[in-house]
């Protein structure tokens, strides 16, 4: 049971990191798009 809980916890941390990275990528793309449109 403890190993399953640890695995779930690790997956949770991974998904949080992944979602944060995805948000950063999307934000960066939007920023680049906005800069390109301003020129």
Tell me the per-residue pLDDT of 1-39, one tens digit each, with 9 for 90 and over.
789 999 999 999 999 999 999 999 999 999 999 999 998
pTM of the predicted protein model: 0.64
Distance of CA 6 to the CA centre of its chain: 21
Distance of CA 34 to the CA centre of its chain: 21
- Both structure tokens of 35: 């800069």
pLDDT at residue 10 in the model: 95
pLDDT at residue 2 in the model: 87
pLDDT at residue 39 in the model: 85
d(Cα 36, Cα 28) in Å, to the nearest integer? 12
d(Cα 13, Cα 3) in Å, to the nearest integer? 15
């Amino acid at each position: 049971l403890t190993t399953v809980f640890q695995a779930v916890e690790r997956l949770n941390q991974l998904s949080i990191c992944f979602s944060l990275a995805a948000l950063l990528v999307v934000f960066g793309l939007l920023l680049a798009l906005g800069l390109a449109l301003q020129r």
